[in-house]
């Protein structure tokens, strides 16, 4: 069976909702043992229960990826019972603002989760992956490649996740570790619905249509579409791919303005 992950163990940060949840469930469906690291343990447990109800293996762990000791604690617990074959750095937070109205506290928070969190997780799993290889996948964003209005801190953080991918892919070629990244455009998740509801009350349908139309293909992507790409990149079928950024953007990067 293509894209078979039987016998593989995957660690997925932020796997309790949105894209992370879709990735967790998709990898479990293909046979992976999935460990979800979430700040909100209840959300992780909901996902793992859905995985188990579908016949898969899922485990929930409470973890703040911004704290290195917390990440090491959870990774060490997982390694007591299994090796880690796949790491997906999906946990992240958003921020709206330009350089003038981005407060220092906001900048520090974005850095702690979106940059240091990625570093903490890679730092924790690399020593074990060096023994037999593995796959690391960073979730970036189109904001790491093109300018987006009022996304100063967020773009900075996703650009860092992108360049960390390049560095890790280069440094660990000889250890059989592949590292790639996925950069989605706007994906229809509960976060998007909540953002529209909170910021545009009474204009939800209008704003949803407007945000959808920013992708040249005319709609938002779905979490499952991102998850299917992640599955491919984590599978042996992608064994010739490393050090590469994969946009999944409905044509946003190349076709906007053309």
Residues with a known catalytic role: 154
Pairing of strands 9-13, 33-38: parallel
Q: What is the DSSP string of 213-243?
A: TTSTTSS-B-HHHHHHHHHHHHSGGGTT--S
Burial annotation 68-80 (CB, 10 A radius, 16+ → b, else e): bebbeebbeebee
Report the sign of the C-alpha dihedral through residues 21, 228, 236, 49, in that order.
positive
Closest Cα partner for 119 from 146, 173, 157?
157
Find out whether 133 and 239 touch, Cβ atoms under 8 Å.
Answer: no
Q: Per the structure block, which two tokens stand in for 30?
A: 């293909």
Going from the C-alpha of 222 to that of each of 21, 88, 156, the distances in angstroms are: 12, 18, 24
């Amino acid at each position: 069976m293509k894209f078979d992950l039987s016998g593989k163990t995957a660690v997925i940060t932020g796997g309790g909702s949105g894209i992370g949840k879709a990735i967790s469930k998709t990898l479990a469906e293909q046979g992976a043992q999935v460990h979800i690291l979430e700040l909100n343990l209840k959300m992780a447990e909901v996902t793992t229960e859905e995985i188990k109800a579908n016949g898969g293996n899922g485990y929930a762990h409470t973890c703040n990826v911004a704290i290195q000791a917390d990440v090491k604690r959870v990774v060490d617990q997982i390694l007591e019972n299994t090796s880690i074959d796949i790491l997906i750095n999906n946990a992240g937070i958003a921020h709206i603002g330009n350089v003038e109205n981005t407060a220092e506290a906001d900048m520090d928070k974005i850095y702690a989760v979106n940059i240091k969190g990625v570093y903490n997780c890679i730092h924790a799993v690399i020593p074990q992956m060096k023994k037999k290889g593995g796959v690391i996948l960073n979730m970036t964003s189109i904001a790491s490649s093109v300018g987006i209005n009022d996304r100063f801190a967020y773009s900075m953080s996703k650009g860092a996740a992108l360049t960390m991918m390049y560095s890790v892919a280069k440094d660990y070629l000889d250890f059989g570790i592949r590292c790639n990244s996925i950069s989605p455009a706007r994906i229809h998740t509960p976060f998007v619905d909540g953002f529209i509801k909170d910021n545009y009350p009474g204009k939800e349908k209008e704003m949803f249509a407007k945000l959808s139309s920013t992708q040249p293909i005319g709609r938002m992507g779905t979490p499952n579409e991102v998850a299917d790409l992640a599955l491919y990149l984590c599978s042996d079928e992608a064994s010739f791919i490393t050090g590469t950024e994969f946009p999944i953007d409905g044509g946003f990067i190349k076709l906007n303005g053309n």
